[in-house]
Structure 1
Amino acid sequence: MRILILTHRVPFPQNGGYPIVVGNTIKGLINHGHEVSLISLNVKKHTDKVLEPDELLRKIKYKEYDIDTRISWIEFVSNIFTKNSYNIDKYYDAGFEKLLVQNLKDNEYDIIQLEGLFVVPYLAAIRKSSKTRIVYRAHNIEHQVWRRLAQQKGDPIKKWYLNLLARRVKTYELELLNKFDGIAVFTGQDKASMLSFGTKTPMRVLPIGVDLAMYIPAPAKTECPSLFFLGSLDWLPNREGIEWFMNNFHKDIVDGELKVKFYVAGNNIPEEFDEYEVPGKVFIQGEVDDALEFINSKSIMIVPLLSGGGMRVKIVEGMAMQKCIISTTIGAEGINFKHGESILIANNADEFYNAVLKCVRDEEYCRTIGENARKLMEEQHDINKVTESLVDFYRSII
């Protein structure tokens, strides 16, 4: 099959949730003998560094288009008085649309896959230029992310504004859901939500797939006990979650009963997070050169998400690396876990405290949770199995 994938950011390198999902999808399709083309918006804020060419680029047809998604204060304020959602509209560019339309005239595809809501503004142009079946992969139900963020805010102005965004995004999402030929979601929860919205489009639940050959646990390299968080803090639910954790447990780690070193790593960590750092206790490391090596070196992963949606890539990666993970229910959405067997679920401060304390004090318990997590990934998240289901879904709508 010939498949065109559209993304709202360049998925290279694979150092975050979105790039990992897109990269693994491409790898799986190529390994199964399909021809993949990729066209990406190149958002300037993601390209500050000079990056090594990704070897995956040699195996696909690839084009990118530079776009600046920054908006002025005047544009931001004026948008409040419109019905549009600026956080979606900012990804529309007439030049990119022209490039895309020309590509569709020059090539024939069996499937066009839109990776997330932020490339959907080009749907109308695609429909005018091609009769190819279009699959929308919903990385989140986006308005639910904003609504959950609003629910966590005490500031009435921030709550009002986030609820405004949520309402606008919801209107946009619901108007589009029956305009695709197929929808792929990561979780059963997201499928149920879409069905409740009246979606008639064929839908398939396809979990995040990983190339398990890349995830090689190395217990001998692991610091036990050690606590860590890994995630991009330019994604608001991640930042909200780690701030909640710090506010609740920083003192317990520095001076209390949680006798464990805590490491925070990821992209775009704000400078003010340096204030959390305490020598020998709390380490704010920022972006790491090798995320898998970092995961391998630590023993207990926390995912304190209070909002968000979809399936968290970092949990899948942590489980594949045989880590003991403590997560909220929201953080673990879509994963077929058993609490106390393959993951630990904690939804409030007391539950998180008790889970961390148990793991810090019982290394064998921690190791068993991690081993069960790896088995779960092998059974349900192997990229080859997920790709077979994805291709079967393609064929069912052609």
Structure 2
Amino acid sequence: MKILYFYPENPLSFSQGNNSRALSLLNYFKDRSIHLDFVGEQSNDFTEDSIQELKKENLIRNGYLLKKEKKSSSIIRYYLDYSFPKKINSRFKDFDRTKFGYGNQFLKIINAGDYDVVIISYVYWSSLLNIGLKVEKTKWIVDTHDFLTSQFQDNKKFALDKYFKKEIDLMKKFDQVWVISYEEKYLFSQFLKTPVHLVTHSLPKPETLLNAEKTIDIIYVASDNFHNIKSAVWFFKEVYPLLSKGIRITVVGKINKHIPKLHNVENLHFVKDLDEIYKKSRIAICPMLSGTGLKIKVIESLSHGLPVVCTERGVDGLVNKTNNGCLASNDSSVFAAYIEKLLHEPDYYGKNHLEAKSFFENNFDTKRTYEVLDAIFLWQ
């Protein structure tokens, strides 16, 4: 089997949870010895050096980066293939992230590859699926990652019915749809005849270090997207002042650019091996106030047996909303009380620690997700 996998960002960048999700899929294909070619989008963080690193790790066979072409390279093609179609579909420009030249470059890759399966990450890259490319042999899959209509609801011209219909119509172009959360599987399957498969995020069970020294009371991992910035501001304004001053907090990721300097907060903008940080931590937090889909950092925390204190958005995508190692509340005082109780009551901590481990092993262990993917590819 020969697969082409499109994912715009660098899967080896550990700054965002979605990259971890992409990397987990690459590891599946590597484990199953499937020929995998990769296409990404060139950026300052994703260069030819990154492609070579993916090859060095034996995660891909061939790698390509789509590069924005200059308008002057072909004026006629710019207007006919890019500018005019963009203007016609300007109402839904949010659903198309391609730039000038991408379509032509992608077409060349497809024509030269003779692929059995093409996987496109995110619905807003679905324009890469050119109807003229759909041959009987090739199966096209969209890995949605998220419910995009919800992401656009603050746009001035947002209209729920039109945006949702557009998202569903784009999915209908594909032979198969992958979702990452239970809620999205339920929602999309109500409107699609196309098979919808739950391919959630998976992780190998981490090695447990007996008697590992817990030097971090709270671990908070986040990138600096809009949802995370709003959530971090809420936590440090509404929850942090209610916590005991001696609690040791470590914040990892680009979110640190939006966090004030505090005496008991360690700011790590980049960490190569997050596992080592998790092993030193007692609990994790996920104070998300908005956003959709499964929270990858919650799954990573549960894999290490860390109880997670979160808001209601933190348990999105989980089949169980309770008895899963997560304590959820949108009330700042209750949020703070959960943290204090976990840190000061050993029996309470132990109960949630065991629930976290059990829930992860039953739902997100690599073995579980590999079984789902194996079943999907049986139809090839």
TM-score of the superposition, structure 2-length normalised?
A: 0.84
1:96 aligns with 2:108: no
1:189 shift after superposition: 0.5
- Give 1:41's aligned amino acid: E
CA offsets, 1:65-113, max 9 Å, x none? 25469xxxxxxxxx99984344443x31343322321222222222111
Structure 2 unaligned runs (5+)? 70-85
Structure 2 match to 1:137: 143
- Give 1:356's aligned amino acid: I
1:42 aligns with 2:42: yes
Residue of 265, 272, 278 corresponding to 2:262: 278
1:208 shift after superposition: 1.0
Residue of 334, 338, 341 corresponding to 1:351: 334
Residue of 113, 125, 140 corresponding to 2:119: 113
- Give 1:223's aligned amino acid: K
CA offsets, 1:108-128, max 9 Å, x none? 222111111232121126735
Q: Higher mean Cα deviation, 130-139 or 117-126?
A: 117-126
Distance in 1, matches of 2:111 and 2:47, equals 33
Structure 1 match to 2:211: 220
1:232 aligns with 2:208: no
With over 3 angstroms needed to count, the CA separation of the structure-2 counterparts of 1:219 and 1:230, relative to structure 1, is farther
Distance in 2, matches of 1:168 and 1:47, equals 34
Distance in 2, matches of 1:345 and 1:224, equals 24
Contact kept? 1:210, 1:382, Cα under 8 Å? yes
Contact kept? 1:324, 1:367, Cα under 8 Å? no
SS at match of 1:237: helix
1:28 shift after superposition: 1.2
Distance in 2, matches of 1:210 and 1:338, equals 20
Structure 2 match to 1:30: 30
* TM alignment of 1:69-80, pairs within 5 A: none
Contact kept? 2:123, 2:170, Cα under 8 Å? no
Contact kept? 1:3, 1:36, Cα under 8 Å? yes
Contact kept? 1:43, 1:66, Cα under 8 Å? no
1:294 shift after superposition: 1.6
Count of aligned positions: 363
Structure 1 match to 2:80: none
Contact kept? 2:42, 2:65, Cα under 8 Å? yes
1:191 aligns with 2:170: no
Structure 2 match to 1:18: 18
Contact kept? 2:55, 2:62, Cα under 8 Å? no
* TM alignment of 1:232-381, pairs within 5 A: 232-233=223-224, 235-253=225-243, 257=244, 259-267=246-254, 269-270=256-257, 272-273=258-259, 276-279=260-263, 281-337=264-320, 339-340=322-323, 342-381=325-364
Residue of 177, 202, 227 corresponding to 2:195: 202
Query: Which of structures 1 and 2 has the larger relative contact order (alpha carbons within 8 angstroms, sep 6+)?
Result: 1
Distance in 1, matches of 2:94 and 2:59, equals 32
Distance in 2, matches of 1:37 and 1:223, equals 41
Contact kept? 1:241, 1:305, Cα under 8 Å? yes
CA offsets, 1:197-220, max 9 Å, x none? x222111112211122xx223363
- Give 2:177's aligned amino acid: I
- Give 1:210's aligned amino acid: L
With over 3 angstroms needed to count, the CA separation of the structure-2 counterparts of 1:350 and 1:321, relative to structure 1, is same
With over 3 angstroms needed to count, the CA separation of the structure-2 counterparts of 1:168 and 1:61, relative to structure 1, is farther
Structure 2 match to 1:386: 369
SS at match of 1:220: coil
SS at match of 1:322: coil
Contact kept? 1:65, 1:96, Cα under 8 Å? no
RMSD, aligned α-carbons: 3.1
CA offsets, 1:23-64, max 9 Å, x none? 1112112212322121111233x3499769246643422323
Distance in 2, matches of 1:39 and 1:31, equals 20
Distance in 2, matches of 1:387 and 1:328, equals 30
Q: Percent identity?
A: 16
Distance in 1, matches of 2:236 and 2:348, equals 25
- Give 1:284's aligned amino acid: N
1:84 aligns with 2:74: no
1:226 shift after superposition: 0.8
